[in-house]
Amino acid sequence: MEKKLILRGVIAGAVAGLLAFVFARIFAEPQIASAINYESGRDAAQETLDKAAGLTPQAAGPDIFSRTIQANVGIGVGMVFFGIAMGALFAVAYAVCLGRVGNLRARNLALVVALGGFLGIYFVPFVKYPANPPSIGHPETIKDRGNLYLAMVVCSVVFLVAATWLGKRLQPRFGNWNATLLAGAGYIIAIGIVMALLPALGELSANVQEFGHHATETPLPLTNPKGAIVYPGFPADVLFSFRFYSVATQVLLWATLGLVFGPMAERLLSPAKQASADPAPVQPEPVGAA
Amino acid sequence: MSSLSAPAAATTPVVLPVSKAVLWLVGTALIALAVYYFIGVDQGAYSVFGKDMHIHEFVHDSRHFLGFPCH
């Protein structure tokens, strides 16, 4: 049974990843292109400033893959494999939850697990450390940013599992509705404390040293030694659109995962009932109904 | 309403004996996490292939878009 569930999870994940890729290719790539154009323009402006100050500009590294490859093939491979990986994790979580988290139909359980994956793996970490387009993020802080992001992912997933367990424990005493609300409140409080304790990216020591105190690493306007702005800060609309589409892609991915996996799991878990229920309607027509 | 007032037979009473399925479940989870790591993290904060940047550069756009910190 677990092998069949995992296979279905991988299939649903591949479908979800493919859809996410098509969506990303249409909506994300223009934003990524704008961000890269901004970065190129800023680098050129910075180079002019450096030359005026008598500094020799450092040569940029060679591009391993062209933008065409990255924007058409690379993103596709990345999204599809991410979908497959999430589909496999989804199936594992589903198999463990099956029959252990209350009175849910196979299909409905799939949607609940998908919602958990969306929240735990992506959205709750996003609330603290949102997705950033190219040109946002200082290379020297990548290690800290990577660790902080993964810490958020681990905390949100572990707390979500704990909240599910807590809800089950509270259910006999408080009933389904209240136990779910209590467990949800516990999750929000616990993850809220973690979010309050983890530092903002702009407050990392390397950033404070170089740029002063800021909330994020989003590039501010570039100024010359006299303080005049020679290049604008990162365009706010590009940043918003990029993040909005990033969230939309994940909603699409997890929704597809749940909606494709659910019916397959239902058929797998109750094949006999489905076969007998389909030809004959369960409720007979009342006699004399016109 | 049918899904809310579903009879007990329509729910999911199947409980996998985790002790028997544990190898497949844990193995799948580990492979999935490895894929997650290579798409999202490797050759950024950490790198298992030293200074090589091929994976990072190839999945670059999806890494940004999936919300991971990237260079």
Q: Complex ipTM, two decimals?
A: 0.86
Answer yes or no: is B42 within a domain: yes
From A98-102, A165-169, A271-275, B42-46, the region with the lowest mean pLDDT: A271-275
CA distance B47 to chain A (A): 11
- Chain A, residues 165-194, CB within 8 A of chain B, namely none
Contact A269, B14 (CB under 8 A): yes
And the tokens for A90?
A: 């989804």
Would you state the pLDDT for residue B20?
Answer: 75
Answer yes or no: is B10 within a domain: no
pLDDT of A283 above 90: no
* pLDDT tens digit sequence for A25-46: 999 999 999 999 999 999 999 9
**A205 shares contact with chain B (CB less than 8 Å):** no
Which residues from chain B sit within 8 angstroms of residue A109, using beta carbons?
Answer: 12
State how many domains chain B has: 1
- Chain A, residues 37-56, CB within 8 A of chain B, namely none
Answer yes or no: is B57 within a domain: yes
- The average pLDDT across A181-208 equals 95
Cβ distance of A98 and B16 shorter than 8 Å: yes
Answer yes or no: is B40 within a domain: yes
Contact A152, A128 (CB under 8 A): yes
CA distance A231 to chain B (A): 22
**A108 shares contact with chain B (CB less than 8 Å):** yes
Cβ distance of B39 and A81 shorter than 8 Å: yes
Closest chain A CA to residue B22: A2
Answer yes or no: is B70 within a domain: no
Q: What is the DSSP string of A132-170?
A: --TT-S-GGGHHHHHHHHHHHHHHHHHHHHHHHHHHHHH
- Give the Å distances, CA to CA, from B42 to A117, A236, B35, B46, B60: 22, 29, 10, 5, 11
Containing domain of residue B47, as a range?
Answer: 17-65
Q: Give the predicted TM-score (pTM) of the model.
A: 0.88
- Chains A, B: CB contacts within 8 A come to 178
Closest chain A CA to residue B54: A64
And the tokens for B66?
A: 């999936």
